[in-house]
Structure 1
Amino acid sequence: MVKKILIVCIGNICRSPTAENLMRDALNHADIEVASAGLAALVDSPIEPTAQAVLEEQGHLPSAHKAVQLTSQTVNRADLILVMEKRHVTGVLGIAPEARGKVFLLGKWQEDREISDPYRQGKPAFVHAYALIEEAVHAWAQRLVG
């Protein structure tokens, strides 16, 4: 039974907080905790302004966010860890090898699609990342709560 989901990217300011907000909204009636962290987090930084703007334009009210560094403790507390790129799986397992079997691409149900980092690329990249994240979150939410 999945009770805690951890979503991971690199800086924890663009993709993972976007996915965290969308997953929390998608699972709002389920008893599932959703958090995010970064493999090389820009610790204590807020969500990237363009990422926040895209969330808001899509009707989401992002919760206050401060980037958090991924640790073995956060990995071990999570029941399911969702990452953006295949190399992030390797990064998570480098920190906590015992997590093997609970780390998956967010885009798993889209033929293991990776979601590129929109950081410093302009708004179209953020809109594209948002669309991919939204599709992937929807697919996970359906499988987690039916």
Structure 2
Amino acid sequence: MFDNILVVCVGNICRSPTAEFLLKQALPNKTVHSAGLGALVGHDIDATAKKIAEQHNVACPTHSARQLTKELCREADVILVMEQGHKESITRLAPEARGKTFLLGQWNSNQEIPDPYKKSEEAFQHVYQLIANNSKLWAEKLAK
């Protein structure tokens, strides 16, 4: 039913690829990919995000950031975003995707996940834990 999962943040180099890799690991029979609202197109995952994910045994293959498009929204069965504002941006881009767009932190009191880009390693650690906890909750729901 929900076999094509799209994870969205802004640059597609920190939060969304981290969640993508966590969800891929937890849901090997699903298609999980990511994109950014203002993607740093072609860039790999941020080095600090990658380091922290790998410290938690998350495989981080080569990543190439890509821009979110109306087509990606249309193809996805569910779209997971980091902040409420991302839902609004997706609604402007693809109004038909509104009903399948949810916060990654939905199952955790609609928790938003802040952007750690260009912040301290501690900020990345904190954000990793938020993403990991919320990805686990989504994996449990989507595995059914």
| TM-score of the superposed pair, with normalisation by structure 2 | 0.98
1:100 Cα deviation from its structure 2 partner: 1.6
Query: Residue 105 of structure 1 aligns with which residue?
Result: 103
Matched, 1:27 2:36: no
Q: Deviations 1:40-59 (Å, cap 9, x if unpaired)? A: 00000010000000011111
Query: Residue 6 of structure 1 aligns with which residue?
Result: 6
Q: Which one-letter code corresponds to 2:91 in the other structure? A: L
Unaligned runs of 5+ in 2: none
Q: Deviations 1:72-114 (Å, cap 9, x if unpaired)? A: 0000000000000000000111110010210000000000000
Distance 2:69 2:62 in 1: 21
1:122 Cα deviation from its structure 2 partner: 1.2
What is the aligned-residue identity percentage? Answer: 48
Query: Residue 52 of structure 1 aligns with which residue?
Result: 50
1:63 Cα deviation from its structure 2 partner: 1.4
Q: Which one-letter code corresponds to 1:19 in the other structure? A: A
1:23 Cα deviation from its structure 2 partner: 0.5
Q: Secondary structure at the match of 1:101?
A: helix
Aligned with residue 71 of structure 1, among 48, 69, 72: 69
Matched, 1:91 2:89: yes
Q: Secondary structure at the match of 1:7?
A: strand
Distance 2:96 2:63 in 1: 28
Query: Residue 82 of structure 1 aligns with which residue?
Result: 80
1:32 Cα deviation from its structure 2 partner: 1.1
1:60 Cα deviation from its structure 2 partner: 1.4
1:144 Cα deviation from its structure 2 partner: 1.1
Unaligned runs of 5+ in 1: none
Number of paired residues?
144
* CA RMSD, Structure 1 to Structure 2 (Å): 0.7
Q: Which one-letter code corresponds to 2:16 in the other structure? A: S
1:66 Cα deviation from its structure 2 partner: 0.5
Distance 1:38 1:71 in 2: 9
Q: Which one-letter code corresponds to 1:23 in the other structure? A: L
